Structure 1
Amino acid sequence: MSEPVESGTIRTRAGVEIAYEIHGAGPPMVFVAGLGDDRNSWAGQVPEFARDHKVVLFDNRGIGQSATPPGPYSIEQMADDAHDLARALKLEPVIAVGSSMGGAICQQWALRHPEDIKKLVITNSWAERDVFMGALVDHWMALAKEGQSQHILESLLLFCFSPGYLARKPETVKMFLETPAPPMDGFAAAAAACRGHHTLDRAAEIRHPALVVAGEFDILTRPELSQHLAQRMKQARYASLPTAHMVFWEMPDEFNRLVRGFVEG
């Protein structure tokens, strides 16, 4: 990933330091990471979109270079963090792109601060969790509270990537398992936010044009969860790719083409 043209921190109204960086120039796109991911998770998207957009990446509270306030967190709090970042950077209405927990954050961002948003891209996310997802998040929270960071990384690897991708990309396995784990208190607090996220009964209030993307083999947030969200939203288009949970990692070129077609449409 190229060097950013700007980086720094902002302080939210709640007093949380949020670290960000900017690549490129043009209409703003803000990328919102998922649980356990920092802003570097979007490395496969930056070169494509920084050619003609101001690409804003940031670390959610509890991970990366952002502060880790005491938890538990809520998705609403994290959406307000994104809003405060957009205001601090004086961004015009943005194209918000969020994966998994980041997609949940984008939903609440659009509901709480609709004036901030021009379009939404929500990938591998949910508006109402199912039993499996709830049980898995509970398991991760328990591991985090016990300080079992390596077990969390191993579990994330297995539940987020398809077997075929991991077989083709052994370097991804090595990099993932050697990456320093996020702070366990921040991870547990953010996992609690995921546990509490529910917007299905309000999804019809999101009137922005939206692209909802699913991975056909995603077992963490099953494609049906994305379909339910897209069906409730007023201006949503649904698409899927033959991947597991990390669509934008497994098939970055195809994902980027989907997003660009939506952005320019």
Structure 2
Amino acid sequence: MISPACGPHVAIVPRDEGKPMAQASGLRGCVSNHVFPLRAHYYSCSAPSLFRTRLSPCVALQRSIQVPDVTSDGVSIHYEVTGQGSPVLLLAGLAGVGASWGPQIGLFAGRHRVIVPDHRGTGASTHTASGMTITQHALDMARVVADAGCGPVHAVGSSTGGAIAQVLAIHHRHWLRSATILSSIARADAFYRRQFDMRRRMLADSGLRASTEANALFLFDPAFMRDHPQQVQGWVDATASVAFEREIAFARIDMIVGHDAFDALPSITTPTLVLVGKRDFCAPAHLSAELAERIPGAEFAVLDGGHFIFLEKPALLHDTVEAFIARHEG
């Protein structure tokens, strides 16, 4: 059930009967990182061994992984490609590491050529705090698509990735077939700024472990946390165990809090789907509703889950996006 954005009217998609993220993806307590850059060899997606395989030449074959890099304004941007079919670009959240999409990579690769980049400053891309703006990230991603040689793409962005998708649709629309914006914002409101101010201060004052424990309360649906406490604790343990790069982490927080595409959104002509979890306490549903109302012809749906719905309800999220993509092929 997906309806065009029209004021306060939204579609509520009921709970699916699919498996939770760990069962659906083969994860064993190693889920996704949201806030902090991960080291190059920390992978939190399904089939992690595949993402450590470097193949050449770069030919898109089912179940193969290609691991190229592209240079964008002096920074190496790492991306990985798997599957075959129409291209899908998965844009990660604030962690920036493409592998944080977890089970979604394999689900989309069943029918698509999937491009999974690491943002600048994260993963296997150059670790630098320079160029930490959404505008620069959108330019980086446009160069990834050009380098991959398979544009235009269906862009799917979660949270910070959703902000990047907005700017791609505003300034680099020729690279897009469609845009799905999940759990994101057009601009920060007072709640969003206060949340990230608190999270930044917790990092500075209490350290990574305490901050990660608190972040889980914003990022996971309370119902999922009740039913799958071990998976949530696995995410906390994995996130708190990585190296904390203070300058990069704080620059990325400033980047998303400073994002403001509100006035430019009406210029978007790319077919757009805006999604949000009903119990998203990081980027609440009213922020997605505002976003959808600003984009001409955008479709808007509220799904039953939290900010990490792509991990909590992998089949529900994938099937919703896949149905939208199918209407905008060609």
Normalised TM-score (structure 1): 0.93
Match of 2:146 in 1: 87
- Equivalent residue in structure 2 for 1:258, among 288, 304, 320: 320
Task: Check conservation: 1:137, 1:191, Cα contact below 8 A.
Answer: yes
User: Which protein has the bigger helix share?
Assistant: 1
Give aligned-pair identity as a percent: 30
Task: Check conservation: 2:120, 2:127, Cα contact below 8 A.
Answer: yes
5 Å matches for 1:153-168?
153-168=212-227
The gaps in structure 1 that reach 5 residues or longer are none
Task: Check conservation: 2:199, 2:215, Cα contact below 8 A.
Answer: no
- Tell me, yes or no, if structure 1 residue 244 matches structure 2 residue 306: yes
Structure 1 range deviating more: 32-41 or 194-203: 32-41
Higher RCO (CA-CA < 8 Å; seq separation 6+): 2
Letter in 2 for 1:195: V
Deviations 1:228-263 (Å, cap 9, x if unpaired)?
111110121001112111121111111111111101
5 Å matches for 1:91-110?
91-110=150-169
The Cα shift of 1:91 comes to 2.2
Task: Check conservation: 1:17, 1:66, Cα contact below 8 A.
Answer: yes
- Tell me, yes or no, if structure 1 residue 43 matches structure 2 residue 102: yes
**Tell me, what secondary structure is at the counterpart of 1:198?**
coil
Structure 2 CA distance for partners of 1:142 and 1:91, relative to 1, 3 Å: farther
Match of 2:91 in 1: 32
C-alpha distance in structure 2 between counterparts of 1:20 and 1:217, whole Å: 31
Deviations 1:88-115 (Å, cap 9, x if unpaired)?
2122200000001110011011112111
Task: Check conservation: 1:127, 1:225, Cα contact below 8 A.
Answer: yes
- Equivalent residue in structure 2 for 1:125, among 180, 184, 193: 184
Letter in 1 for 2:282: L
Deviations 1:202-232 (Å, cap 9, x if unpaired)?
1111111111001111121111111111111
The Cα shift of 1:155 comes to 2.5
**Tell me, what secondary structure is at the counterpart of 2:67?**
strand
Letter in 2 for 1:259: V
Structure 2 CA distance for partners of 1:149 and 1:169, relative to 1, 3 Å: same
Structure 1 range deviating more: 55-64 or 138-147: 138-147
**Tell me, what secondary structure is at the counterpart of 2:201?**
helix
Task: Check conservation: 1:10, 1:85, Cα contact below 8 A.
Answer: yes
- Tell me, yes or no, if structure 1 residue 197 matches structure 2 residue 259: yes
Match of 2:122 in 1: 63
- Tell me, yes or no, if structure 1 residue 9 matches structure 2 residue 69: yes
The Cα shift of 1:35 comes to 0.9
C-alpha distance in structure 1 between counterparts of 2:285 and 2:260, whole Å: 17
TM-align CA RMSD: 1.7
The gaps in structure 2 that reach 5 residues or longer are 1-45, 51-63
Normalised TM-score (structure 2): 0.76
**Tell me, what secondary structure is at the counterpart of 1:45?**
helix
Deviations 1:149-188 (Å, cap 9, x if unpaired)?
2233222211100121112222322321221345332221
The alignment of Structure 1 onto Structure 2 pairs a total of residues equal to 264
**Tell me, what secondary structure is at the counterpart of 2:68?**
strand
Letter in 1 for 2:132: Y
Task: Check conservation: 2:262, 2:291, Cα contact below 8 A.
Answer: yes
- Tell me, yes or no, if structure 1 residue 74 matches structure 2 residue 140: no
